[in-house]
């Protein structure tokens, strides 16, 4: 028996079942259907219970996030001397970077490199605070985590100095007549 290309097309009855009208008793895209029900206490794909500390939504959530961020800045300025020093340098360097006689992309690099130092310092301070929250006793893993955070700040500082050197080095050399 010779097969034809039309043999692969489903008969009209099967096609009618695929395109049947919407049935109210069946779940659809708008229904509150969980695609994965928990299989047991060790099921890693089971949905997590709601977090009672995350009760704000929408603009209220954004407002509280801003409030907590400003509180974080206050804590960093009040308690972290390294952040205060870097913030003082940033207050001097950001205007210089913004108004340097270099292309806009180079100005963006200057500003971003300074902001990167502040970001990494804030992250380092948060790691140190979390470690101190766990325990104030000396431990090799605590030391390692704090040293790694300090190394990250050093890399960010090196990247900032290198960026400023490459971008503004030729400008300063031109001013000095080199």
pLDDT digits (tens, 9 = 90+) for 49-99: 888 878 888 899 899 999 999 999 999 999 999 999 999 999 999 999 999
**Which band of pLDDT confidence, cut at 50, 70 and 90, is reported for residue 107?**
very high
Boundaries of every domain in the chain: 81-176
Q: Taking residues 8-28, what's their average pLDDT? A: 51
CATH class of the 81-176 domain in this structure: mainly alpha
Q: What is the DSSP string of the chain?
A: ----GGGGSPPHHHHHHHTPPP-TTS--TTS---SS---STT-TTSPPPPPTT----HHHHHHHHHHHHHHHHHHHHHH-HHHHHHHHHHHHHHHHHHT-SS-HHHHHHHHHHHHHHHHHHHHHHHHHHHHHHH--S--HHHHHHHHHHHHHHHHHHHHHHHHHHHHHHHHHHHHHT-
pLDDT reading at 15 higher than 50: no
Instruction: Report the percent of the chain where pLDDT is more than 70.
Output: 77
pLDDT reading at 18 higher than 60: no
Q: Taking residues 23-36, what's their average pLDDT? A: 53
140 is known as an active-site residue: no
pLDDT reading at 11 higher than 60: no
- Between 57 and 170, residue with greater pLDDT: 170
For the chain, the average pLDDT equals 85
pLDDT reading at 6 higher than 60: no
- Between 143 and 57, residue with greater pLDDT: 143
pLDDT at 44: 74
pLDDT reading at 27 higher than 80: no
pLDDT at 53: 78
Q: Taking residues 29-54, what's their average pLDDT? A: 68
pLDDT at 47: 76
Active-site residue (options: 121, 128, 137, 140):
121
């Amino acid at each position: 028996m010779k097969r034809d290309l039309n043999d692969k097309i489903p008969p009209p009855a099967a096609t009618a079942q695929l395109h049947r009208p919407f049935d109210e008793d069946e779940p659809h895209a708008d229904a509150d259907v969980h695609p994965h029900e928990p299989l047991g206490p060790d099921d890693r794909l089971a949905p997590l219970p709601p977090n009672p500390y995350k009760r704000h939504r929408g603009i209220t959530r954004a407002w509280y996030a801003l409030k907590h961020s400003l509180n974080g800045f206050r804590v960093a300025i009040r308690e972290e001397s390294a952040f205060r020093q870097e913030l003082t340098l940033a207050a001097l360097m950001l205007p210089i970077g913004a108004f340097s006689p270099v292309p806009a992309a180079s100005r963006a690099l200057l500003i971003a490199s300074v902001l990167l130092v502040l970001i990494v310092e804030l992250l380092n301070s948060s790691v140190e605070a979390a470690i101190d929250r766990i325990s104030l006793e000396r431990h090799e893993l605590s030391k390692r985590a704090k040293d790694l955070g300090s190394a990250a700040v050093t890399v960010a500082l090196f990247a900032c100095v290198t960026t400023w050197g490459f971008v503004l080095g030729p400008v300063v050399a031109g001013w000095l007549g080199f």
